[in-house]
């Protein structure tokens, strides 16, 4: 029911992420080769994933009718964050000969909706934003005409067309998101001279210089970062890893095949993975505690093509399934159980966020920001 050509869509998604960061033709060929290898390995990966699960797979079921409300329309929405009664959307306006998209950061009141206000403009290859206190942070790609490298920027949450301010250099802008926060510090992935490696950096929100937390492999096909009060998380080839926020050696959290996103509530790490066609899962693992290591990973939901984005509240995991015609928005309890179908028939839903009462998501295929009740 959720299949739209797993392999073809995987290539398109991987190429889209790479193109936003100015990837060249050589890298695209590598992505195609990697996609082929993933397909050949999908059967074995499926067996490994199922063996690791301690919760039976749950087929999606509809609980009650949910109404979709379109809050705003965009040209090509790429990133989403919701905080303080506003949604912040990165909207791609155009590209250039180097394949760098030029984006605006737009603010929309939620849940009321309305005409978007430009918080910042002409951002090259900008990724998913995060909102911390009164500021919006995001990574931008290199600006070759002006000789600028990838960097981490911020703008005031209530700004209107303001110039974004650099807060750190050398951000790995192809990661999405490339920045996370524990409320006290920012954490971001930084490029190194060795293109096979990356650095995990910490930057105090109160001010100060960036500090390296750890070094890692730049081997995952999709890069992102997540953080909580104790750990920073990111993907490497075949696994998710973590490191204490104070620094140290990265340690494996769980095996993955094609992880798309992750989030932590401090007790569990939740993530989405796509081992193969119609095999996308939402999983969790209990984090280490003073009493000893965590338990084995659990599968909370399965049977999806591309669960590319997820968000948490106190009780549930909300996620989107990326599909051209039958994309959907779903909810499953953090403890597992029946997967509730909130909305179906969406065109490439890619990013998702929640507040106290509502779920918000962007549809890349139709250029909309929408919401529904939880």
Encode pLDDT of 320-349 as tens digits: 999 888 899 999 999 999 999 999 999 999
Residue 18, strand partner residues: none
pLDDT at 32 over 70: no
**275 band by pLDDT with thresholds 50, 70 and 90:** confident
Q: What is the pLDDT of residue 93?
A: 83
- pLDDT of res. 180: 98
pLDDT score recorded for residue 37: 44
Percent of the chain residues past pLDDT 70, beyond the cut: 77
Average pLDDT of the chain to the nearest whole number: 83
Given a cut of 70, whether residue 177 has pLDDT beyond it is yes
Q: What residues contact 40, with CB distance under 8 A and at least 6 apart?
A: none
Residue 295 pLDDT:
63
- Region 339-365: mean pLDDT is 95
Decide which of 54 and 365 is more confident: 365
Residues 6+ apart with CB under 8 A from 281: 49, 57, 272, 273, 274, 275, 299, 300, 301, 302, 304, 307
Of 284, 248, 343, 342, nearest to 52 (Cα)? Answer: 284
pLDDT at 199: 96
Predicted confidence at residue 347, as pLDDT, reads: 92
Average pLDDT estimate for 235-250:
96
- The answer, as to whether pTM is greater than 0.75, is yes
Query: CA–CA separation, 159 vs 106, rounded Å?
Result: 10
Higher pLDDT, 245 or 173: 245
pLDDT for the residue numbered 127: 86
Residue 60 pLDDT class (50, 70, 90 cuts): low
Band of residue 308 on the pLDDT scale cut at 50, 70, 90: very high
Range in 47-51, 186-190, 354-358 with the lowest mean pLDDT: 47-51
Report the range of poorest mean pLDDT among 14-18, 183-187, 196-200. 14-18
Domain boundaries, given as residue ranges, for the chain: 6-373
Give residue 63's pLDDT. 54
Would the pLDDT of 241 be above 80?
yes
Alpha-carbon span 19 to 4, nearest angstrom: 22
**Least-confidence region, from 45-59, 172-186, 190-204, 281-295:** 45-59
Q: What is the pLDDT of residue 49?
A: 41
Given a contact cutoff of 8 angstroms between Cβ atoms, the answer to whether 328 and 370 are in contact is no
What mean pLDDT comes out for the span 150-154? Answer: 93
Residue 97 has pLDDT above 90, yes or no: no
| 306 in Cβ contact with 280 (< 8 Å) | yes
At residue 335, φ and ψ (nearest 5 deg) are -90, 0
Mean pLDDT of 138-148: 70
- In this predicted structure, the answer to whether residue 85 has a pLDDT above a threshold of 60 is yes
- pLDDT (0 to 100) of residue 124: 86
Q: Give the pLDDT score at 55.
A: 45
Q: State mean pLDDT over 15-42.
A: 42
Q: How high is the pLDDT of residue 59?
A: 46
- Residue 79 near residue 369 (C-beta atoms within 8 A): no
- Provide mean pLDDT across the span 108-115: 92
Question: Terminus-to-terminus CA distance in the chain, angstroms?
Answer: 23
pLDDT for 355: 96
Higher-confidence position of 239 and 3: 239
Fold category of 6-373 in CATH: Neuraminidase (2.120.10)
Average pLDDT over residues 211-221: 94
Pairing between β-strand 339-346 and β-strand 60-62 as defined by DSSP bridges: parallel
């Amino acid at each position: 029911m959720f299949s739209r050509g797993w392999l073809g869509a995987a290539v398109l998604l991987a190429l889209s992420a790479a193109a936003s960061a100015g990837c060249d033709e050589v890298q695209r060929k590598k992505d195609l080769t990697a996609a082929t290898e993933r397909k050949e390995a999908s059967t074995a990966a499926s067996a490994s994933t199922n063996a690791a699960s301690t919760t039976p797979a749950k087929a999606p079921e509809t609980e009650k009718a949910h109404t979709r409300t379109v809050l705003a329309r965009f040209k090509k929405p790429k990133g989403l964050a919701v905080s303080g009664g506003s949604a912040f959307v990165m909207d791609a306006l155009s590209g250039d000969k180097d394949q760098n998209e030029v984006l605006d950061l737009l603010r929309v009141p939620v849940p009321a909706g309305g005409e978007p206000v430009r918080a910042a403009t002409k951002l090259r290859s900008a990724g998913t934003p995060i909102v911390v206190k009164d500021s919006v942070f995001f990574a931008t790609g290199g600006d070759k005409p002006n000789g600028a490298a990838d960097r981490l920027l911020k703008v005031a949450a209530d700004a209107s067309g303001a110039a974004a301010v650099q807060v750190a250099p050398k951000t790995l802008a192809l990661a999405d998101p490339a920045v996370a926060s524990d409320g006290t510090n920012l954490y971001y992935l930084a490029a190194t001279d060795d293109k096979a490696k990356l650095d995990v950096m910490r930057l105090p929100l109160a001010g100060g210089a960036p500090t390296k937390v750890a070094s890692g492999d730049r081997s995952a096909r999709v890069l992102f970062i997540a953080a909580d009060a104790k750990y920073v998380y990111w993907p490497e080839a075949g696994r998710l890893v973590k490191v204490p926020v104070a620094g140290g050696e990265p340690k494996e959290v769980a095996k993955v095949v094609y992880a798309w996103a992750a989030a932590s509530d401090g007790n569990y790490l939740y993530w989405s993975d796509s081992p193969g066609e119609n095999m996308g899962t939402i999983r969790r693992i209990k984090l280490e505690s003073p009493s000893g290591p965590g338990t084995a990973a659990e599968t909370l939901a399965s049977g999806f093509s591309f669960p590319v984005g997820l968000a948490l509240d106190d009780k549930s995991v909300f996620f989107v399934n990326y599909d051209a015609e039958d994309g959907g928005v779903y909810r499953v309890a953090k403890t597992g159980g029946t997967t509730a179908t909130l909305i179906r028939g969406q065109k490439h839903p890619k990013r998702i966020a929640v507040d106290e009462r509502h779920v918000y998501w962007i549809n890349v295929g139709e250029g909309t920001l929408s919401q529904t009740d939880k």
